[in-house]
Structure 1
Amino acid sequence: MKGEQKFCATSLESFIDSSISELGKQIQLLSNELSKETKNPLFTITRGMQNMGDNELVLVCHKKKYPGAVFSCHSINRTTLYKVPLVGKDGTKANALAVCHKDTSAWNPKHMAFQILKIKPGTDPVCHFLFRDTLVWISNK
């Protein structure tokens, strides 16, 4: 997408250095949190959702299937990050990360989100939860 920056982090050093290069030195790393392992995938959203800031830039890093820690990272402009408290059917507590993309005008009009939501690029925000092994860097400024 226009304005999107991408990099592949193949070491801890490149993961940190590239993130600092994108966002500056005052950054925070966030991830989904699970109080204990559970075999029950059914969760309910509970009270206490936190807006982690309307960030002009959020750096999202997706874990890749390699023997070592390899992340594919990309910057996303005009994105709001939320920490959403969940409780499982078995009582397991979690904090899940969700993002809302406020500017989808540069997205492919055939993107699945537009088909599911029945909207057009640039009209409404598109929000979704992040996968469990996704990490997010945000600025602390």
Structure 2
Amino acid sequence: MFAPASLTMDDDIAMTLQLCEHPHMVHGEKSGCATSIESFLELVVSSLGTNDVRALSPRAPMEGVPSVRYTVASATPVTNSQSALVCHDMTYPYKVFFCHTATPIRAYQLSLVSNDVGQPSIDALAVCHLNTSHWEPNHPFFQIMHVKPGETTACHFLGRGSIIWVPTVKEAAQ
């Protein structure tokens, strides 16, 4: 139906199809792909169990982030809930988002300040998986960190093109 612009794009499209049709999720995760606004909203509401939600996305520069060191100036939880739906913009001829949930998690909004003079600060989002005990022992995170499943929390940044959906928590009347 369409001709990919390059072999890399062809591989990325094949990966999108594989991920959407046969996701390999960690124990307890749910996933799905959204290919329209309607399916996107349906996936968000069904995954979080409420239509009272808010969306956040990283405010990273449109061009590549300079390869410099950054210091975390602040980290603020985005919700009191330990559930979230994280959606990633996938390579495809039209808009497709791969979304997945994991609980328990903590999501943070961070301000990163460059250690190099003249470099801009970055507003970022990070997700921390609080329970890694059901992850595969050969997961790359464990290899890099030299730990075993369940020994630590696994945190990672969300890239540009990702959206995190969280339930809006109502504050008690005072």
Same fold (TM over 0.5): yes
RMSD over aligned CA atoms reads 1.9
Q: Which 10-residue stretch deviates more, 64-73 or 45-54?
A: 45-54
Q: Please show how residues 72-111 of structure 1 align to structure 2 within 5 Å.
A: 72-88=98-114, 89=116, 90-111=118-139
1:15 aligned onto 2:40: yes
More helix by share: 2
Residues 64-91 of structure 1 deviation map (CA, whole Å, 9 limit, x = unaligned)? 1012210011111101111111234443
SS at structure 2 position matched to 1:71: strand
What are structure 1's unaligned runs of at least 5 residues? none
Higher relative contact order (CA 8 A, sep 6+): 1
Aligned length: 141
Distance in 2 between residues matched to 1:76 and 1:39, nearest whole Å: 27
Deviation at 1:118, TM superposition (A): 1.0
Letter of the 1:105 partner, please give it.
Answer: S
Q: Please show how residues 30-109 of structure 1 align to structure 2 within 5 Å.
A: 30-34=56-60, 37=63, 40-42=66-68, 44-88=70-114, 89=116, 90-109=118-137
Which residue of structure 2 aligns with residue 132 of structure 1? 160
Which residue of structure 2 aligns with residue 2 of structure 1? 27
Larger radius of gyration: 2
SS at structure 2 position matched to 1:17: helix
Instruction: Give the fraction of aligned pairs with identical amino acids, expressed as a percent.
Output: 35
